[in-house]
Chain A
């Protein structure tokens, strides 16, 4: 089977090589020394920065995406609005990488249109009040541009699975709108929302091109550290690079596995 040969050579073998290297020291001895190197302050900082940025953008994406998708599906809006959002989300969730960075520079950069409009017409100078596109908040906002549409696309099936009968049943028993949302809708949606959140987290965690185009190497998230390590061994220890790669695989693997488990659970209600 050519597929298995291909998968072995270009998927399994490279990963195995990195994992193997992560458990060796530079002179080829098997040891946990290299993995322990992950807990050095700089590396730990990178992981913590990456995780915080991914949590922030995934959290915003999941919450705003849920609210927006709920309004589109159960909010009584005409169906063309919903179709327009769905089509746009399909495009926007794939509009990432370098062009997205350019778009946000033109929007919220120092000379971006929104920055200038806010300054000249509303008298709000966002850069003077501490905002910067090239800061944590700016990056999270930029990520939101592909996270939000992804959330809308992924949570829609779960929202469509909320049957009107359940709502009617709750209402006929005297439940208020808030009670219906908090006692019926939210518990049903919780596994889906959490699952989507994890997928958004993984999505942000692996993002490199957008952040590189925005900040160069100033923002030391894990993918950037790895990128520089491949370029020029900046860590002066090839094996530490392997260990960082393995750390990334573990985090990505964990969030994806949890996502699959939660999706299984959520699908019980969507039959």
Chain B
């Protein structure tokens, strides 16, 4: 029965593929129609030429990078600590790390603007720097579920206990062990988590908008209200960007510790020479 043509499966797969692909084709087609009567990349050109686009994109890119850095500093030592010293804390830390998936961002930011708002004990939203800090913190919280899982998976694939003993027997301090022994070994896992974080926070709308930050998400919504063709162009670019981030995330998640992204030719030929 395995050799018969799976007609029903083919029909279902084609319908599924159509649902996924038609909106992309439609959006791409729409994005090319800005000039009447011809297909052109005019909408893309007009997006790239605008100063606002550059400024909001760089604002969000910087905020996302900062969130990645802060996330690494918070997550790596914690995951290390839990695995090595206090495994019984694992359920607690895992629960905390999953909580941002349960608490919607709109609820989270609601709490922030009340606790850290005007007239509170720590009025962060009074200054620009304070609000920007709060924004980065919000992005960090959103990214923790993914970052923690990526880092924890990375640590599962190396023997951190032996590495730590080796480092300590050579006189390394704890901080030094984490920074110079553990960190390089889980580098690819961290980079993998970082790409996911980046793809989530770059276009983030809810927190950015409610903190009144000039980020990419609110800019997108504004474009949607003001223009017809540019939003389609932006959607295509966003899709390409998400795709790139996901591919890079996969690539880095599957790298083994110490393995480089592009293997040098010499090592490949040596391997081939060996039987």
- List A residues at the B interface (Cβ < 8 Å): 1-4, 6-7, 10-11, 13-15, 17-18, 21, 64, 67-68, 71-72, 75-77, 81, 85, 88, 90-92, 94-95, 97-107, 111-114, 144-145, 148-149, 202, 205-206, 208-209, 212-213, 216, 223, 226-227, 229-231, 241-242, 245, 248-249, 252-253, 256
Using CB atoms, name the residue of chain B closest to A246. B107
Cβ of B13 to closest chain A Cβ, rounded Å: 6
Which among B22, B107, B200 is the interface contact of A114 at CB below 8 angstroms? B22
Q: Roughly how many angstroms separate A3 CA and B71 CA in the complex, as a whole number?
A: 10
Interface centre among A88, A95, A202 (most CB of B within 10 A): A95
CB distance from B87 to the nearest CB of A (A): 15
Count residues on chain B whose CB falls below 8 Å from chain A CBs.
Answer: 75
B262 at the binding interface (Cβ < 8 Å): no
- Is B65's CB within 8 Å of the partner chain A? no
Q: Which residues of A contact B6 (CB under 8 A)?
A: 71, 75-77
Contacts A99-B203, A99-B235, A230-B109 hold; do A223 and B24 have CB atoms under 8 A apart? no
> Residues 89-102 of chain B: 1 if any A CB is under 8 Å from the residue's CB, otherwise 0?
00001001001111
For A230, the chain B residues whose CB sits under 8 A away are 106, 109-110, 113, 210
List 10 A-B pairs, Cβ < 8 Å: A3-B96, A7-B99, A64-B16, A67-B12, A77-B13, A94-B242, A98-B205, A99-B203, A102-B27, A213-B224
Cβ–Cβ contact A103 & B99, under 8 A: no
Q: A209-B206, A227-B206, A231-B210 are contacts. A10–B110 as well, Cβ < 8 Å? A: no
* A residues less than 8 Å from B200 (CB atoms): 94
User: Which of chain A's residues have a CB closer than 8 A to the CB of B30?
Assistant: 106, 112-113
- Please give me the 3 A-B residue pairs with the lowest Cβ-Cβ distance, nearest first: A14-B111, A75-B9, A113-B26
